[in-house]
Amino acid sequence: MDAFTTHTGRAVPLRRSNVDTDQIIPAVWLKQVSRTGFERGLFAAWREDPGFVLNNPSYEGASVLVSGPDFGTGSSREHAVWALQQYGFRAVIAARFGDIFRNNSTKMGLLPVVLPSDEVEALQAAVEADPALEVTVDLVERQVRWGSKVLGFEIDDYTRWRLLEGLDDIGLTLRHADDIDTYENGRQTWLPTTV
Amino acid sequence: MGRTLAEKVWEQHVVRRADGEPDLLYIDLHLIHEVTSPQAFDGLRLSGRSVRRPELTIATEDHNVPTVLGPITDLVSKTQVETLRKNCAEFGIRLHPMGDAGQGVVHIIGPQFGLTQPGMTVVCGDSHTSTHGAFGAIAFGIGTSEVEHVLATQTLPAYRPKTMAIEVNGLLPVGVTAKDLILAIIAKIGTGGGQGYIVEYRGEAIRALSMEGRMTVCNMSIEAGARAGMIAPDETTFAYLKGRAHAPEGAAWDEAVAHWKTLRTDDDAVFDKVVEIDASTLTPFVTWGTNPGQGAPLGSVVPSPESFADPIERSAAERALDYMGLTAGTRLVDVEVDTVFVGSCTNGRIEDLRAAADILRGRQVVTRTLIVPGSMQVKKAAEEEGLDEVFKAAGAEWRQAGCSMCLGMNPDTLKPGERSASTSNRNFEGRQGKGGRTHLVSPAVAAATAVTGKLTAPADL
Ligand code: SF4
């Protein structure tokens, strides 16, 4: 996956709550068997509305998405993360995330940042007032910074380390292949197999 | 101090625990379908890895398949299904393809084969994996990177979620179903209410549910944001499992049951959070908005956005009413629908079809009505009972097994502006087809609605 250390870029305010993954990438886009090309499906239905914020030229090239609460709820589709990354987003800031989406993001190197609701709204208002405003998402310091604001955010040490190093989970787990063997040898014999 | 059911099952699956790291959890059963697996198999091939335990893995074709006989005509869907077939052949994974007697929606077939058992860990690249928690398993949805991880290692690194008890006291009144209950629970705690938790559903009303009803409840745990939902196994669970293809037999059965009986929350265990619901006050429940938390009793009205104190909920309600084409104050029983869908991993099991048939017997539908069995086995069982004849005589369409109108990936979709009463689990914008409007309901309400063309409780027919 992509490593994430610190990122500075412009932000897009998405003033919606419960942005489910069906909105982030509608089901018809999930039929691809490759991992690329999903940026075209990002918010596909909403982007048909010329007034939708991603269609506003002043936010073109922005790389931080600032959303209302409960971003990425619903379906487990990792395609939602791929679509956001391929469109150019490096981080998403919201007050709450769907659990599976948050997990998927950290596997891929898209940083989900939880900030309190009022701070998310303050940031949204700030980028609405000045779309050129630069926002820094700093995983090393666990901070989000813009203007004179400096806000800390929480992320567990392990996930942070994996993101900073860009480490592949499977590789890490396979270091413990012996533990897996031992566990497997102790499993109850009546547990089902599919054969 | 005692432990909760979730804690017990979790502890029994810890392969490795180290300070400051997530637990490495063993996965007993991995379910696969065509949509979230192709990129995972590609990943394996790229890194030259194999599937560690193909015999703990099972695959089916469900999301893309048409529910009328004949081949897949959509070329992209066809490629995805063919990719699954190639991957399963290459890595030695059991697959139930379209047309196979064992094919069906991934969360229907696991329990049906007896592969889902108490105390197991079950994962799938699909959020409704929570369904399997009805057996007292820890079952949760994962993304494609994690699918690859499970294929390669049969484990997952994960932090143990917090525990929540949802105590459902009293009994559901006659005519109120598991679906009404879970919709009411989600409306109460909200779509984020379960976030970070494994929910255990407990109490008299839960104990009284059939396995089908329990699966309906656990299925929608994710709609409340929960990582998983579970119900302690009991005699109902054992009776359901006994004799199924992959259930233990003979002495192994006794040994398994003895273990399963230990899988209950100790009396002195403490949950991180407790929510109480009085089942006896519930009535049929429907959604009016575009997330599953936006629901209300069918006997009430479309709420006005101003009635929400929270500004974010208020603007979400405004947006939802606009999308749904509804006016605040409209009686829900006056909302006209043009399509009724009975099916999905929430309500596509035999008991659900029986509930719909009970309403439709001797009546006529006035809407387009799709009845889609969750699996080919459910279809066969329904036909043996003559339910298909009831549906056809009522003017409904009787289909092949699949996800069908639960999501817009196969030919069964709503057109823009069309309104459905659907027994599925998500009323998101465009979920059933771009511009489609979805009201989530129980199978009985769906069938009654098909008869009148308006959202209807069976008692009002
Ligand atoms: S029936 Fe619906 S919710 Fe269930 S697996 Fe299929 S698409 Fe997902």
Element housing B340 (H / E): strand B339-342
d(CA B188, CA B383): 38
Q: Looking at residue B38, what DSSP letter applies? A: H
B218 among the known binding-site residues?
no
Which of A76, A106, A168 to mutate to test binding with chain B, by most B CBs within 10 Å of its CB? A76
Q: Residue B113: its pLDDT value, please? A: 98
pLDDT surpassing 90 at residue A109: yes
Buried b (16+ CB within 10 A) or exposed e, B16-31: beeeebbbbbbbbbbb
Given a cut of 90, whether residue A1 has pLDDT beyond it is no
User: Residues of B with CB below 8 A from A73's CB?
Assistant: 191-192, 225, 291
- Name the stretches of chain B with pLDDT < 50: none
For ligand 1, mutation pick of B34, B36, B62 (most atoms within 8 Å of CB): B62
Closest partner residue to A17 among B83, B148, B316, by Cβ? Answer: B316
Q: Count Cβ atoms below 10 Å from residue A17 Cβ, excluding itself.
A: 25
Whether A24 shows a pLDDT value over 90: the answer reads: yes
Q: How confident is the model at residue A34 (pLDDT cuts 50, 70, 90)?
A: very high
Residue B450 phi, psi dihedral angles, 5° rounding = -65, -30
Q: For the complex shown, is ipTM > 0.90?
A: yes
* Atom number of ligand 1 nearest to Cα B344: 1
Residue A79's pLDDT is 97
Above 90 in pLDDT, residue A128?
yes
Are the Cβ atoms of A194 and B115 closer than 8 angstroms? yes
Confidence (pTM): 0.97
Rounded-to-integer distance, Cα B143 and Cα A139, Å: 23
Chain segment B280-307, per-residue pLDDT in tens:
999 999 999 999 999 999 999 999 999 9
Residues of A whose CB is below 8 A from B149: 169-170, 173
For A108, phi then psi, to 5°, come to: -105, -10
Atom of ligand 1 nearest to the CA of B406: 2
Chain B residue numbers with beta carbons less than 8 Å from the beta carbon of A190 are 248, 252-253, 255-256
Could you give the CA distance from residue B141 to residue B154 in angstroms, rounded to a whole number? 15
Closest to B32 measured CA to CA, from B76, B75, B84, B79: B84
B115 to chain A, minimum CA–CA distance in Å? 6
Query: What is the C-alpha to C-alpha distance for residues B422 and A25, in angstroms, rounded to an integer?
Result: 22
CA angle B134, B135, B139 (to 5 degrees): 70
| Gap between the Cα atoms of A112 and A30, Å rounded | 22
Residue A168 has pLDDT above 90, yes or no: no
Cβ within 8 Å, pair B426-A70: no
- Give yes or no for residue A2 having a pLDDT over 90: no
Q: Is B406 annotated to bind ligand?
A: yes
Q: Which atom of ligand 1 is nearest to the CA of B62?
A: 6
Query: What residues are in contact with ligand 1 under a 6 Å CB criterion?
Result: B 62-63, 105-107, 126, 128, 344-345, 403, 406-407, 424-425
* pLDDT single digits (tens) B2-16: 999 999 999 999 999
For residue B26, the chain A residues in CB contact (below 8 A) are 180, 183-184, 187
